[in-house]
Structures are given as C-alpha cells and as structure tokens.
Structure 1
Amino acid sequence: MKVRSSVKKICPNCRQIRRKGQIFIICENPKHKQRQKKSSKGRATNLSKG
C-alpha cells in the first residue's frame, strides 16, 4: 500500500472510501492501493488550546 499526502484514482475501477477519518483508494489492481497520510499537526493544536 502506498502512503501519500494526496491520493487520486488511477483507473476507472479505483474507489475512494473513508475509514476512521482517513481516505483510502481500493482497486482490483493491488498496485493502486493508497492511503492518505495522517496529519498529527491539526490534532495537537486542538488539544493544546483546551
């Protein structure tokens, strides 16, 4: 699985889904599997404002 900051559909069979706040691309072709990077930046700033 490729981990990228920007995920895109590569072929017509690719599907974009969201699981637990992350965006995934799943496809019949295993080479097209992708996951978007987590951004811990936004979470840390929200917790520190408390």
Structure 2
Amino acid sequence: KKICEKCKIIRRHGHVRVICENPKHKQRQG
C-alpha cells in the first residue's frame, strides 16, 4: 500500500516492496 506520493512499489521475484524517503513507510510483503 502506498502511504504517500513518494512511495514506490517494486515487484520482483514475487516480493512486493515499498521504498520511500520516509523510513517509516517502508513495507515488505512476501
């Protein structure tokens, strides 16, 4: 889930990651 506009969703090898400038916004989903 995107938390803010700067969050980027990256999918690779079945994993979904959220990368953002704000460390609190980082998420990982298997």
Percentage identity across paired residues of the two chains: 67
Runs of 4+ in structure 1 off by over 3 angstroms are: none
CA distance in 2 between counterparts of 1:24 and 1:10 reads 12
Instruction: Output aligned runs, 1:11-22, within 5 Å.
Output: 11-22=4-15
What 5-or-longer segments of structure 1 have no aligned partner?
A: 1-7, 39-50
Structure with higher helix content? 1
* TM-score, normalization by structure 2: 0.83
* TM-score, normalization by structure 1: 0.55
Between the two proteins, the alignment pairs up a number of residues equal to 30
Instruction: Output aligned runs, 1:1-50, within 5 Å.
Output: 8-36=1-29, 38=30
Structure with higher strand content? 2
What 5-or-longer segments of structure 2 have no aligned partner?
A: none
